[in-house]
Structure 1
Amino acid sequence: MITFQLSKQEKVVKSINSPSNNISHCAFLACSHSPQCTTQNKTCCAYILKHSLVFIDTFFKHHNLSYVIIYGTLLGAVRNKTIIPWTKDIDIGIIDMTYLFTKKIRDELYQHGFHLFESFGLPRLCVHKNISNRTLLATYDRRHKPPASTLELKVYIDLYSMYRIYGAQTTSKTPVFLIKTGGSFHALISFQNRVTIDEQTFPTIDNIEEHLVYFYTKEYMHGIMTE
């Protein structure tokens, strides 16, 4: 059980107010969400999501950006050891969102094929239509109009702010973070815990079981459950 004596005032992260925020920069990918899809098939959304996650892992390490995988991405790692084949997104909690919003980082992300935009108050990344890595454009439908909303995107990365909670009383010295969403789940993050996706490990929260039960009930290991 975690109790709180004092919480740090949350930073207000400004929206991305620039022309590059336009979602029409995203490629319309007609990839499949079939349960039979795997991260090995280039025509599947799972393939694009997995390779996007690998890029993000390398990119964030290079820029000393601390992150953890959460929600459906964590569910897939624990339950399936891979990306959930019918999911549309990767879920990432990030500590320093302010740095990510700088023009330098946005431009560098774009140079590597990923467009940073904001939708419904949530920062997101998509594969942009001018990416040089053609394998991620294997299902690009050039005849389709550019996406007008997130609902038209087949794959994207959701980026959730995580705020350090100070004064938390826990049984360990592990830092406590609040995931900035509609819920009030508090994550323990020592930055030492990792989880495996396709034989590659990625950082995640410490209290995995508590997280998955909170968001997906005690039955999270059973059945076809969307993230």
Structure 2
Amino acid sequence: MQEITLDEYKKALLHLLDYFDTFCKKHQISYSLGGGTLIGAVRHKGFIPWDDDIDIYMYHSEYEKFVKHWKDTQNITLAGLYDKNYRCFCCFDKIYDSNFIFEDYTHQFGNLFLDIFIYDFVPDNPKFIYKNIQKIKFFKKLTRSFVKLSHKYGLMRGIFLSCAKLLEKKTLSLLEKWRLTYTDANCENIAIFMSEYAKSEHFIMPKQYFSNVVYLPFEDRKYPCMNNYDEHLKKYYGDYMKLPPINERVAPHSFKYYKAN
């Protein structure tokens, strides 16, 4: 492997975003820049200087269309392509480029990636939404615990894995029921169900945010962004135009970057 700089790694990220954007345009798939990438577009007209990833927001229905048309290449792959349960169970998916590698702070290695955060339709009842999202997240956490226990206690591996599969089935059933009940036709809001990082009340937003995207400069290109990006970013990040303290301006995922041989 050849070590590269953060700027060189960002160029590779931008190349992956271009690939993703071209694919979405070809198949008429809607999306928006999100999270820190959206802040970067608004505040810096490009990457946040110390950031090392890209975040995308997408409706669940658009994501399923995306998966339907997607084809892996030799180096660019979609994590959830061949696993329907993964796609249903997760609030996000990842597109990887195996040509580039990062080393995180625990000295673990991973491929360069783009995060797709998936939004579902939700009713206009924040307490009901919060209750159900917490229930789903609890089942997911419990499932992971049983999987970990199956590795720790080999003699009871079968029992723990059976419990994990039952919980996963229960969670998938709840999610499928939700997605059949709450649709574009009867809902005005959207939310991320399974996020481990977002407070649910912050990640609930009107679906109209995605109705007409605006194109904002990002590096020397333009990408689609939700039309009410300012309202969304203020709700979740507060005064997002203010730079954080210098000691917080660090890459969130890694500290070394490489190009594969």
What TM-score range do you get, normalising by the shorter chain? 0.5 to 0.7
Query: Which has a greater percent of helix?
Result: 2
Gap change, CA 1:222 and 1:86, over 3 Å in 2:
closer
**Which residue type is aligned with residue 124 of structure 1?**
K
**2:226 aligned residue:** 205
Q: Who is 1:178 aligned against?
A: 191
2:118 to 158, 161, 165: 161
Aligned counterpart, 1:9:
none
- The Cα of 1:78 is off from its aligned counterpart by 0.9
- CA displacement at 1:179 relative to structure 2: 3.7
> Shift of residue 167 of structure 1?
6.3
Q: Which residue of 2 aligns with 1:97?
A: 63
Q: CA deviation at 1:205?
A: 1.1
CA contact (8 A) 1:67 1:92 kept: yes
Q: How far apart in 2 are the matches of 1:153 and 1:29?
A: 15
Give the secondary structure class of the aligned counterpart of 1:128. strand
Which deviations, in whole Å up to 9, do the C-alpha atoms of 1:105-159 show, x marking residues without a partner? 1xx2425x41111599431011124xxxxxxx5xx69xx9xx9x9x623631001
Is 1:221 aligned to residue 242 of structure 2? Answer: yes
Which residue of structure 2 aligns with residue 123 of structure 1?
A: 93
- Number of matched pairs: 168
Q: Please give the alpha-carbon distance, in whole angstroms, between the structure 2 residues aligned to 1:62 and 1:216.
A: 33
**1:194-222 superposed Cα distances (whole Å, 9 cap, x missing partner):** 21112322111122122222332214432
- Give the TM-score, by structure 1 length: 0.60
Cα deviation 1:151-177 (Å, max 9, x = unaligned): 623631001112234669xxxxxx643
Q: What is the SS of the residue equivalent to 1:218?
A: coil
Q: Is 1:72–1:91's contact at 8 Å kept on the other side of the alignment?
A: yes
Q: Indicate conservation of the 8 Å contact 1:114/1:128, yes or no.
A: yes
Q: Distance in 2 between matches of 1:67 and 1:216?
A: 20
Larger radius of gyration: 2
Q: Is this contact kept in 1: 2:119–2:192, CA < 8 A?
A: yes
Shift of 1:75: 0.8
Deviations 1:77-118 (A, max 9, x none): 11111122322211001222223334x51xx2425x411115
- Cα distance in 2 for residues equivalent to 1:71 and 1:77: 10
CA distance in 1, matches of 2:216, 2:114: 18
Q: Percent same amino acid among aligned pairs?
A: 24
| 1:129-144 to 2 correspondences below 5 Å | 129=99
The normalised TM-score by structure 2 is 0.53
Q: Deviations over 1:10-29 (max 9, x none)?
A: xxxxxxxxxxxxxxxxxx78
Give the aligned partner of residue 109 of structure 2.
152
Q: Which residue of 1 aligns with 2:26?
A: 62
Secondary structure, in 3 states, of the residue corresponding to 2:77? strand
Q: Which runs of 4+ in 1 moved over 3 A?
A: 28-31, 118-122, 164-168, 223-227
**Cα root mean square deviation, aligned:** 3.6
Question: Per the alignment, do residues 154 and 114 of structure 1 end up closer, same or farther by CA in structure 2, a change over 3 Å counting?
Answer: closer
Pair 1:100–1:190, CA change in 2 (3 A): closer
**Structure 2 contact 233–240 (Cα < 8 Å) conserved:** no
